[in-house]
């Protein structure tokens, strides 16, 4: 775990459930540590607020 992570009561349960079923949903109020806690156990992350560049369209024209 990250040395800056504040250990939470849920950490042991979260680790157990991830081993059993592989995915969990973490809910709670803003700024309570959901993302930080989840990232401690995640193998990868996808942040939906990050913009994704659409693929560039094929341009018509002479080549």
Average pLDDT over the chain reads 80
For residue 63, is pLDDT > 60?
Answer: no
Residue with tokens 């950490």: 11
Question: The whole model's pTM is what?
Answer: 0.59
pLDDT bin (cut points 50, 70, 90) of residue 3 is: low
For residue 54, is pLDDT > 70?
Answer: no
pLDDT score for 17: 92
For residue 20, is pLDDT > 60?
Answer: yes
Q: Could you tell me the residue ranges of all domains in the chain?
A: 1-48
Count the alpha carbons within 13 Å of 42 in the hemisphere toward its beta carbon: 13
For residue 60, is pLDDT > 90?
Answer: no
């Amino acid at each position: 775990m990250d040395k800056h992570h504040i250990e939470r009561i849920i950490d042991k349960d979260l680790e157990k459930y991830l081993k059993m079923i592989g995915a969990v949903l973490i809910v709670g109020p803003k700024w309570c540590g959901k993302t930080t806690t989840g990232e401690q156990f995640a193998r990868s992350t996808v942040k939906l607020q990050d913009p994704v560049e659409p693929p560039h369209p094929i341009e018509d024209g002479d080549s």
